[in-house]
Amino acid sequence: MFLPLQCQSVNERSMVDASYLYGTCSRYRYADGSAELLLFEYNCTTTKKLVACDLVVNNKKGDLYMHDFMLLKDGNWRNAFGQVAGTLAALLPASALTAKLVATEKIEKFPVRGENV
């Protein structure tokens, strides 16, 4: 949604109800070393609430996958395919929940614009 990568998704940055976001980028690795994940978490500057995420998965074969997730007005989360669940964890790939945290970096405040990448 916010990364400069082409991705088919029902979510669009123009749907995020915020003018500025900030957050973190966390790097995870599977215990067997078969893949690394980057989880970008975006928080609204006014509510301090997590409102969107981008997940990039890079496996050992060199394949790159991207998924995005958006918090809906009713409090549920929606993934790039339109599936809705009560928690973000319910929409993440099951294997992602077992990955080990390697590092986390801050994402400085940036403006949300209506254009999509």
DSSP per-residue string spanning 73-84: TTS-EEETTS-E
- DSSP letter for 83, please: -
- Give the residue with greater pLDDT, 68 vs 117: 68
| pLDDT band for position 2 (cuts 50, 70, 90) | low
Sketch the domain layout of the chain as residue ranges. 23-107
**Tokens linked to 90:** 């319910």
If you average pLDDT over every residue of the chain, what do you get? Answer: 89
Q: Identify the residue whose tokens are 């080990």.
A: 100
Per-residue pLDDT tens digits for 42-70: 999 999 999 999 999 998 888 888 999 99
pTM score of the predicted model: 0.87
